[in-house]
Amino acid sequence: MTKDYRTGRVVGLATTAALGGFLFGYDSAVINGAASAIKSTFQLSDFQLGFLVSIALIGSAIGAWFAGYFADRYGRQPVMMMAALMFMLAAIGQAFPFSPWDLAIWRLIGGAGIGVASVMAPMYIAEIAPAPLRGRMASLQQFAIVIGIFATGLTNFLILNAAGGSATSPWLLGLPAWQWMFLSMTIPALIYGLLALRLPESPRYLLQNGEDEEAAKVLAQIYTVDTADRIRDIKQSMSGEHRSSMKDLRGHRFGLMPIVWIGILLSAFQQFVGINAVFYYSNTIWESVGFTEDQAFQTSLITTGVNVAFTVVAISLVDRVGRKPLLLVGSAGMVVMLGVLTWIFGTAPIDAAGNPVLTNGPDVVAMIAFNVYVAFFAATWGPVVWVLLGEMFPNRIRAAALALAASAQWAANFIVSTGFPPIAGRSLGLAYGIFTVFALLSIPFVMKKVRETKGVELEDMDELEAASLEAA
């Protein structure tokens, strides 16, 4: 089959859009290095700390909910600029809080930026990428997220060491290290905003708004052949449409269309296997089982490195193997590794503070299982869910459906992140046992409900929607 598109141009556009994912990962994980210092600075309980960490996820759900509406009303590119501004404001506000209350407000604003970016990157990438490249390009979103998480961990670690090994120790200008951890986010936020300013608008948005000439110019940057047929196909798929809204998602089963429920459940399972408990609380987890603060930072940095490496594996496989097989392999691998962690944490001796004590042997096994679990997630569920959410919905409902599914993902993330500290405080074994159950339940869900989208053009997603209706 002759290639009729410019791979370099597509990669450039997708990479710029995916930088929102970098900030998504950076902002969501920066709290990991600062959590203990914030807890001691403001004298917070475990529940209060969990809420302060998780309130960003409420903002993310709100941002994702409205992102689809704003994207259809104002365009994809302006909404990306809005996300960059929210990241910048949140970075400065979180670095200079007067109390836990205004810190929570700034985290809410930063979370809204994450929610907007989580919708805009997969939407834009799916709408500009040719079908043979779409899976790999959409996976760049998750790759950028994990690079952001890794960059946060590395930056936090370097700042911690420069400040003398404690996040509460003063560093440059007399500011504690944890404040510099938040301030460091202003740099990628500024870069994202400047690069997003140069992005062309999505051709599907332009055609939806009658700007055919502009859409043709954008498509001409991507394709090497005449795009008249492609423009006709896009317009035909949108014929009779209006800007999508939540009422367009209504269906006969439980109030929503089956394809929308599948997107929501994909999002929920991605979170209920516990991955963000790893990245928000990994330092706290390892400190609770006897690691020093420095050792916990190093261990968490290894985990984020594994996350990055295996996301590259996903990018190389998603357009070859397909979406559904990767999800099934990931679920099976996570069940085994989470089961091992459940057993280790559940059977370990308990110290006077109620924490499990891992001595030589179990500590090594736990670290290996922990990182293999992250590897299975990173190579499968991490990027593949975002790929599916960006492409599985028909044109006429994509913005609204993606916004709802992303909001559901952040709501599930909030439940996990808020519930993890008190449950883990009672029993790490119980917390990981719950994650194991959800990983197990995800297998029959994927087998029965998820439709393969590899190689399918966005304009042909109506056929998969019909197949979902028959399977529902």
**CATH number, residue 31:** 1.20.1250.20
Please give the residue range of the domain that contains residue 400: 7-199+244-471
Whether the pLDDT of residue 78 is over 80: the answer is: yes
pLDDT of residue 471: 47
Q: What is the pLDDT of residues 444-454, one digit of tens each?
A: 999 998 888 77
**Is 228 within a domain?**
no
Task: For residues 303-319, give the mean pLDDT.
Answer: 86
Mean pLDDT of 23-31: 79
Q: How confident is the model at residue 93 (pLDDT cuts 50, 70, 90)?
A: very high
Give the mean model confidence (pLDDT) for residues 168-197.
Answer: 90
Model pLDDT, residue 252: 66
Is the pLDDT confidence value at 286 over 80?
no
361/39: higher pLDDT:
39
467 pLDDT more than 60: no
Per the domain annotation, does 180 fall within a domain? yes
pLDDT at site 358: 66
Distances (CA, A) of 266 to 187, 260, 393, 414: 33, 10, 13, 16
Residue 395 within any structural domain of the chain: yes
Q: Percent of the chain scored above 70 by pLDDT?
A: 86
Residue 285's pLDDT is 63
pLDDT (mean) for 313-322: 88
Residue 72, C-beta contacts closer than 8 angstroms, at least 6 positions apart: 205, 208, 243, 244, 399, 400
pLDDT tens-digit readout, 222-243:
998 888 888 887 887 666 554 5
**What percent of the chain lies above the pLDDT cut of 90?**
28
| pTM value surpassing 0.75 | no
Which segment, 33-47, 105-119, 339-353, is predicted with the most confidence on average?
Answer: 105-119
* pLDDT tens track for 159-176: 988 888 788 888 888 889
Q: Looking at the predicted structure, is the pLDDT value of residue 183 above 60?
A: yes
Residue 239 lies in a domain: no
233 domain-assigned: no
Per the CB < 8 A criterion, the answer to whether 214 and 77 are in contact is: no
The answer to whether residue 231 is domain-embedded is no
When the pLDDT of each residue in the chain is averaged and rounded to a whole number, the result is: 83
Quote the Cα angle for 72-73-78, to 5°.
90
Looking at the domain assignment, is residue 362 inside a domain? Answer: yes
Q: Which residues contact 288 (CB under 8 A, 6 or more apart)?
A: 355, 356, 424, 428
Can you tell me which residue has the tokens 């367009």? 248
Q: What is the model's pLDDT at position 469?
A: 47
Number of domain units in the chain:
1
Which whole-number Å values give the CA distances from 351 to 82, 136, 344, 356, in the listed order? 48, 47, 15, 6
Rounded-to-integer distance, Cα 57 and Cα 64, Å: 10
In a domain, 1, yes or no: no
The answer to whether 204 and 222 have CB atoms below 8 angstroms apart is: no
Write the CB contacts of 466 (distance below 8 Å, at least 6 apart in sequence).
none
Among the listed residues 358, 17, 1, 116, the one whose alpha carbon sits nearest the alpha carbon of residue 9: 17
Segment 353-409, tens digit of pLDDT: 666 666 666 777 888 888 899 999 999 998 899 888 888 888 777 778 888 888 888
